[in-house]
Amino acid sequence: MRQAALFWLSQTDARQKAAGVRALRDSWLQGELSLDSNAIIAETDNIPGRPAKPDLVAPLDVKRRAMNTVEGRAALIHALAHIEFNAINLALDALWRFPGMPAGYYSDWLQVAQEEAYHFSLLADHLIALGFQYGEFSAHNSLWELTERTAGDVLARMALVPRTMEARGLDATPAVRAKLAQAGDKAAAEILDIILRDEIGHVGIGNRWFAYLCEQRGLDLLAAYDQLAKQYRAPQMRPPFNIEARRAAGFSEAELKILQA
């Protein structure tokens, strides 16, 4: 299963990657795949596999367009689709890269990869309905950059990708949904409802495995997170925060108080 995850991570066609990941999880659930959690797998050259388009630019260089136009809504949907495409890759990377974790860890991240592939497909299909294709707009790569920085330690990966970067998505989604609904894009708003529901679970998976690793290593969870955020230059958390969603994803009341302070 981990070797297959690396194969799909390296594939460059976004649609094929999404379909392959969904098929991979079906095969796992049907008992057609084995899992060697201790195998040391050699990294391939093409990580992550991505299509030639979209062009990747600095976050501040991604053009913003007015929401009162179809093109403006499509640009926002495209940005969300690119986040979900990157999220497929980060889930697959968490799955293949780190040996020695319990079997449930790998099963969890395969579930995340499959759900991110579903989200990407929903958004890419909606782009087509608006008259555009994934890849037509520029995009940024900050989510994957932090994934690369944490490649050497599963503790850092769990701390800073799902429960930091993806948790920021929990905070941002309600406002984005409201913007799309106000613009009359009911279909996009409904897709974001699905994404928020699933992302609460994804952040929860990150929280669960971060807590597991802290316990295994005898670390205080709050202190470990603070140290890792500084060491790996994680983005600063900025309000507004979706406290209800973060609580549902397993953040402790102590963490939420620190965040709000």
**pLDDT mean over 84-90:** 96
pLDDT for the residue numbered 161: 95
Domain housing 93: 2-260
Give the CATH number for residue 175.
1.20.1260
Contact at 8 Å (CB) between 224 and 212?
Answer: no
- SS3 state of residue 139: strand
- Specify the DSSP class assigned to residue 237: P
Preceding peptide of 51 cis, ω within 30°: no
Statement: residue 63 has pLDDT above 80: no
Confidence of residue 67 (pLDDT cuts 50, 70, 90): confident
The token pair that represents 181 in the structure block: 């609904």
- Residues 6+ positions from 111 with CB-CB distance below 8 Å: 25, 205
Mean pLDDT of 84-98: 97
* Residue 8 falls in which region: left (phi positive, over 0), alpha (psi -120 to 50) or beta: alpha
Whether the pLDDT of residue 145 is over 90: the answer is no
**Closest to 75 in 3D by CA, of 182, 180, 189, 171:** 180
Could you tell me if 125 and 84 are in contact, meaning their C-beta atoms sit under 8 angstroms apart? no
The answer to whether 93 touches 147, Cβ cutoff 8 Å, is yes
With a CB cutoff of 8 Å and minimum separation 6, the contacts of 4 are: 24, 33
Which pLDDT score, from 0 to 100, does residue 261 have?
A: 86
Q: Which pair of tokens denotes residue 50?
A: 């991505």
Backbone angles phi, psi at 57, to 5 degrees: -130, 170
Beta-ladder partners of 96: none
Question: How far apart, in whole angstroms, are the C-alpha atoms of residue 197 and residue 242?
Answer: 13
User: Whose CA is closest to 123, among 25, 179, 194, 222?
Assistant: 194
Is residue 60 over pLDDT 80?
A: no
Summarize the confidence of residues 30-47 as an average pLDDT: 95
Q: What is the pLDDT of residue 97?
A: 98
Structural domain tally of the chain? 1
Q: What is the pLDDT of residue 81?
A: 97
Cβ(47)–Cβ(10) under 8 Å? yes
Amino acid at 84: E
Token pair in block for residue 77:
């949907």
Lowest pLDDT segment from 56-70, 71-85, 121-135, 149-163: 56-70
